[in-house]
Amino acid sequence: MDPPLLPVDPVSRAQLRLVHHRILKDWYSLARSIEDASGRKADQLAKQLKESLLAANELFKMSEYLLSDELSLVDCTLGPLLWRLPHYGVKLGKPGVAVETYAHRIFSRSSFKASLTQAERDLLFLVLYESPQATHQGMRLRTGDYSPPEGLVIPCHE
């Protein structure tokens, strides 16, 4: 049986609900704004999202999942946002290694892979192949030479 997506005890449940609310209000609203913007405005919004994620970097180091040792609603909410970061032009780089490690942990879950549409499965590759100088995981990429970081299984490779 899968664990519940919210803790049983009221204090932990309230804490995760508050974090969930902040993620939706802060990070998802920025993501929507990036989608609606273009040019310099989109770049500014992507920079804000990057800085906000990096400011929370320590939270991603605290436990296996965000604020919990078990998968929660917060993790299920963050997965799609983190998956789309390259599409938004957000590259966390070395300062965001804890966020990227967390993201890869989420991406490797069979439930996450099963939830992706074909368009979402292709999203990472489309973003990387749009620019011959795309950077991901600290590797310089040229069209056609992308392979997933070690330990990360991209759904369309299965």
pLDDT score for 114:
87
CATH 1.20.1050.10 fits 10-115, yes or no: yes
pTM for the full model? 0.76
Taking only the tens of pLDDT, the chain with its 158 residues reads 566 788 888 998 899 999 999 999 999 999 999 999 999 999 999 999 999 999 999 999 999 999 888 899 999 999 999 999 998 999 999 999 999 999 999 998 988 888 888 888 877 665 445 443 334 333 333 333 334 444 444 443 33
pLDDT score for 74:
94
Helix (H) or strand (E) holding 135: strand 135-136
Token pair for residue 52?
């906000």
pLDDT score for 22:
94
CA distances from 143 to 114, 133, 149 (A): 27, 8, 16
DSSP, collapsed to helix, strand or coil, labels residue 17 as helix
Q: Quick one: residue 151, left, alpha or beta (phi over 0 = left, psi -120 to 50 = alpha)?
A: left
